[in-house]
Amino acid sequence: MKWYELSERATLEMTKTEKDTGLTEQDVAARQKEHGLNELDEGEKQSALLLFLEQFKDFMVLVLLAATLISGLLGEYIDAIAIIAIVIINGCLGFYQERRAEKSLHALKELSAPQVMAMRGGEWTKVTSKELVLGDIVKFTSGDRIGADLRIIEAKSLEIEESALTGESLPVAKTTIALKGDDIPLGDQENMAFMGTLVTRGSGIGVVVGTGMNTAMGQIANLLQSAETMITPLQRKLEQLGKILIVVALLLTLLVVVVGVIQGHDLYTMFLAGVSLAVAAIPEGLPAIVTVALSLGVQRMIKQRSIVRKLPAVETLGCASVICSDKTGTMTQNKMTVTHLWAGGTTWTVSGTGYEPKGEFYMEDKKVQPANIKPLQQLLLFGLLCNQTQLIRKEDEYVIDGDPTEAALLVAAMKSGLDDTSAKTQFKLVQEFPFDSTRKMMSVVVEDSYNRRYIITKGAPDVLLLNSKEILWGNKKQALTGTATTEVKSAIDGLASQALRTIAIAFRELAPNEQVRNEQDAERNLTLLGLQGMIDPPRPEVKQAVKECNQAGIKTVMITGDHVITAKAIASQLGILKPGGKVLDGSSLSKMTTEELEEVVDDVYVYARVSPEHKLKIVKALQARGHIVAMTGDGVNDAPAIKAADIGIAMGITGTDVAKEASSLVLLDDNFATIKSAIKEGRNIYENIRKFIRYLLASNVGEILVMLFAMLLALPLPLVPIQILWVNLVTDGLPAMALGLDQPEENVMKRKPRHPKEGVFARGLGWKVISRGFLIGVVTLAAFMIVYDDTPANLEYAQTIAFATLVMAQLIHVFDCRSEKSIFDRNPFENLYLVGAVISSILLMLVVIYYPPLQPIFHTMSIAPREWLIILGLASVPTFLLAGSLLTRKKS
């Protein structure tokens, strides 16, 4: 089908849809049923069975299974079945963990799936692009990614970048006119927008003419984006560490076996014990638990309104030392209300709050009627005309469709009695040059009933001042020089110093035949009308968040397109601007080299009147000073800086698809305070991972050492293989997972950011692992030796005591792992998952020891009550001996 040949009407007829009302929900459901969802086919998924079998591909597990098989053939049925059962349960656990990690990653992908605006039943509705069907009317604007193949039926300065499809990186200007031609290549189909391409400028409306695999994108299968599966730096370090640990564990196990054989143990027993020990001591589950901890942390972050798009960001968040944040909407509410107006030397104020168009105008406390004051009336009218935003009444509330700054101008005009529709009928819109944050202006061409055409421009006052030649003072035009300029400048500063966002409005009547081809043609030789100043209250929670970041050693920097004085006023209110802190404006920034910026960057707290392009320079300078930078953004031009930052943050509500795609974190509520929560969670996740690494490795060290010491002392095996495997499954597994869910220590946001190069064993973790592991091994062996009296009859009893001591020593030690300082620093009942995991482990241990049918399987015997005193006393030693010594050290 050559959609580009069809007229707008024919396209709408062919797709059975209406431009103004779109499809109904029933149409959509029927079409989805017929054509399926608007998705590209993904590659084959790994089957569940394969994933399950993968759990057993580990070399040592295979050796263990082979050894078990041999012992089964030799008649040791019970042992063989029990070991296989444990290996299978372990595999199931691993399978469950990996599935869970995979599912939550998938859910994340769904959450950050692109959304589009579609006309459904006469209303613009936000839907995910997956839900689009043939005939949907879709609107899009600069920064959006096109969700399906569209025939464009409305285009305003529309340009689309189609490199994903055509390889051409220059954006193509788009129109709505039907094209003639047989085989027009994709790149020349100027009235079409294709799935996956990017709107770089302007806005438009289109009819969906192709979805899913029926799109141009669907036809080039090799371009299908595969989901990025990225591993985090810590996961990479653990992978390397894992390899080292495997070798160490194998060598030590070998040592145990060799010493055991030399001391006279029989080879077969030692072999099975050795393999079990190796399976237990090799932390094969570590990567999976890390993934689960990361993804559970990511789930918690979603609850706190941020979505992690790239997993490594979770770790990097904990290292962030600077947050560069936009002001409008992120630190402030982006609910603008005009409160002050200035024209020709007079200032008026307006009452009223929010978007409700009710309020009075005052001049120095005296109520005035704007309809009677021509300059004021004109300022308000032109603010309404140079405006793409609509005010909608929904029940008792007013909501806006568009930009809050424009909404404020619209509402102010309506407060004076002007009506949006009748004004726009009187002044017909002819052309439009949309706002962009580099130009900091927007313009329209309107035509009145006498066919007179006017340019109306609104934008940042300092920019408009440069583009204006004259000013309307009273009813007369005056050259914009000398005192007039000084007066305007002081009016701008006056409004800005009250933290008001200021917009200037200017105009020019066009000569009858004058052509306006682009914004440069339009935005020159203007006549300045006046200024409108609007409040944008700070978000109430931001001040506290800035303070907490400060305590956490993280500097907050405000980056804004707004006026220097406005930015300064708000930064001071929020506690961002420190005494002596610098404010840098866009024009000084442009003149500086990167090196010059590096010199001062540490002292700058506010960047004002900057363009999105400056953000990249700021990120680079901060990084050159060794900072780990988090940078927010929402527009197309913000994408390079977001990408270059260590943590690129995009706005979930106002952010464009391009910004979101470049980011590693998306704020669902566009709120600065959410960045702080995400950093806190990021720090906590990393600490939790450290906690279970510490727990697991200390446990493994203990398990190996108890066997090694026993062999060196020519003792019998203190633990039988099945006991070792049981410990690996129950005592190591459950509590480690619960540690991954631990709450942060109260000082988590009172420490300096972590150094990104910090190793896994930094801050004394290595010493803690070895010392606690050593003691766990020693006390387990001590318990065994106290009870063991050299008779074979008593061996199983002594082994049961050793087993119980090992389990209890680990379960006490797990609480120590919750704190970097000391076990006494934390309330053990805070983490109920952990309490639950420990209680379950203890119960399972008691079952194995006391339940007669299980005793022969686990080679256990019922322990006499008084022996528990020895077990518990010894089991407490590894944790409390060193905790005590630390405590004394701290006190002294």
* Chain positions contacting ligand ATP, by CB under 6 A: 326-328, 403, 405-406, 435, 437, 440-442, 458-460, 501, 503, 560-563
Task: Identify whether the C-beta of residue 560 lies closer than 8 Å to the C-beta of residue 437.
Answer: no
SS3 347: strand
CA distances to 344, 412, 494, 508, 658 from 418, rounded to whole Å, are 21, 9, 27, 21, 37
Of 15 and 532, CB closest to ligand ATP:
532
**Helix (H) or strand (E) segment spanning residue 190:** none
Token pair, residue 756, equals 């990104």
SS3 439: coil
CA distance 235 to 233: 5
Of residues 393, 388, 371, the one with CA closest to residue 424: 388
Q: How far is the CB of 654 from ligand ATP (least distance, A)?
A: 9
Query: What per-residue string of b and e applies to 36-72 under the rule 16 or more CB within 10 Å gives b?
Result: eebeeeeeeeeeeeeebeebbebebbeebbebbeebb
Name residue, tokens 């769904």: 110
- Cα angle 529, 531, 535 (rounded to 5 degrees) comes to 160
CA distances to 87, 392, 517, 530, 644 from 386, rounded to whole Å, are 71, 18, 18, 14, 35
Q: What is the DSSP string of 285-326?
A: THHHHHHHHHHHHHHHHHHTTEEESSTHHHHHHTT--EEEEE
Of 297 and 655, CB closest to ligand ATP:
655
Q: How far is the CB of 530 from ligand ATP (least distance, A)?
A: 14
In terms of DSSP bridges, do strands 665-667 and 306-308 run parallel, antiparallel, or are they unpaired?
Answer: antiparallel
Of 27 and 562, CB closest to ligand ATP:
562
Of 561 and 773, CB closest to ligand ATP:
561
Written as one letter, the residue type at 659 is: A
Written as one letter, the residue type at 783 is: A
* C-alpha count within 13 angstroms, C-beta hemisphere, residue 454: 21
In terms of DSSP bridges, do strands 555-559 and 322-326 run parallel, antiparallel, or are they unpaired?
Answer: parallel
Q: How far is the CB of 390 from ligand ATP (least distance, A)?
A: 13
CA distance 807 to 732: 9
Task: Identify whether the C-beta of residue 101 lies closer than 8 Å to the C-beta of residue 46.
Answer: no
Sort residue 288 into left (φ over 0), alpha (ψ -120 to 50) or beta: alpha
Q: How far is the CB of 439 from ligand ATP (least distance, A)?
A: 8
Give the rounded distance of the alpha carbon of 712 from its chain centre: 53
Q: How far is the CB of 323 from ligand ATP (least distance, A)?
A: 14
Q: How far is the CB of 158 from ligand ATP (least distance, A)?
A: 18
Query: What per-residue string of b and e applies to 451-464 under the rule 16 or more CB within 10 Å gives b?
Result: eebbbbbbbbbbbb
Sort residue 220 into left (φ over 0), alpha (ψ -120 to 50) or beta: beta
Of 252 and 641, CB closest to ligand ATP:
641
Of 146 and 526, CB closest to ligand ATP:
526
Of 279 and 464, CB closest to ligand ATP:
464
CA distance 169 to 685: 40
Q: How far is the CB of 437 from ligand ATP (least distance, A)?
A: 3
Of 660 and 680, CB closest to ligand ATP:
660
Of 506 and 738, CB closest to ligand ATP:
506
Of 654 and 723, CB closest to ligand ATP:
654
Query: What per-residue string of b and e applies to 104-131 under the rule 16 or more CB within 10 Å gives b?
Result: bbeebeeebeebbbbbbeeeeeebebbb
Of residues 157, 160, 155, the one with CA closest to residue 204: 155
CA distance 822 to 816: 7
Q: What is the DSSP string of 726-760?
A: HIIIIITHHHHHHHTTPPPPTTTTTSPPPPTT--T
Alpha helices in 402-475 (DSSP H): 404-415, 420-426, 461-467
CA distance 839 to 836: 5
Catalytic residue among 326, 536, 657, 732: 326
Name residue, tokens 């407490």: 876
Q: How far is the CB of 462 from ligand ATP (least distance, A)?
A: 9
Name residue, tokens 């024919």: 10
Closest residue to ligand ATP using C-beta atoms: 561
Cβ partners under 8 Å of residue 394, min gap 6: none
Q: How far is the CB of 610 from ligand ATP (least distance, A)?
A: 7
Q: Decide if 326 is catalytic.
A: yes
Task: Identify whether the C-beta of residue 90 lies closer than 8 Å to the C-beta of residue 280.
Answer: no
Of 277 and 465, CB closest to ligand ATP:
465
Task: Tell me the catalytic residues.
Answer: 326
